C-alpha cells in the first residue's frame, strides 16, 4: 500500500458508496480498491495516466 492509498478503515466507508456490480457484461479485471487508489494518485500528483505506477494497473 502506497503512502496516499486508502486505509482499510477508509475503504470500509467508501465501498458502500460505489455502485453494485452489474452481472451483465465482462467481469472486472482490476479490483475496485486498486482502481480508486490509482484515480486518487493521479488526481493528487497530476501525472499523466500513462505515468501511473504499475501497482495501479494499466
Mean pLDDT of 17-28: 80
Dist. CA 11–CA 47, nearest whole Å: 23
Q: Is residue 7 part of a domain?
A: no
Q: Is residue 55 part of a domain?
A: yes
Range of the domain at 48: 29-58
C-alpha distances out from residue 9 to 14, 18, 28, 31, Å = 9, 16, 23, 17
pLDDT digit string (tens) for 34-56?
A: 888 989 889 999 999 888 888 88
Task: Note whether residue 33 is domain-resident.
Answer: yes
Whether residue 18 lies inside any domain: the answer is: no
- Would residue 48 count as lying in a domain? yes
Instruction: Tell whether 16 is covered by a domain.
Output: no
Please give the tally of structural domains in the chain.
1
Q: Is residue 35 part of a domain?
A: yes
Per-residue pLDDT band at 25 (split at 50, 70, 90): confident
Q: What is the pLDDT of residue 1?
A: 62
Q: What are phi and psi of 21, to 5 degrees?
A: -65, 130
What is the predicted pLDDT for the residue at 13? 93
Determine, yes or no, domain membership for 8. no
Whether 57 has a pLDDT exceeding 80, the answer reads no
Amino acid at each position: 500500500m502506497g503512502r496516499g492509498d486508502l486505509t482499510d478503515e477508509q475503504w470500509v466507508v467508501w465501498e458502500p458508496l460505489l455502485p453494485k456490480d452489474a452481472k451483465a457484461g465482462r467481469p472486472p479485471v482490476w479490483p475496485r480498491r486498486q482502481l480508486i487508489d490509482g484515480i486518487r494518485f493521479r488526481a493528487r500528483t497530476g501525472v499523466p495516466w500513462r505515468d501511473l505506477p504499475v501497482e495501479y494497473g494499466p
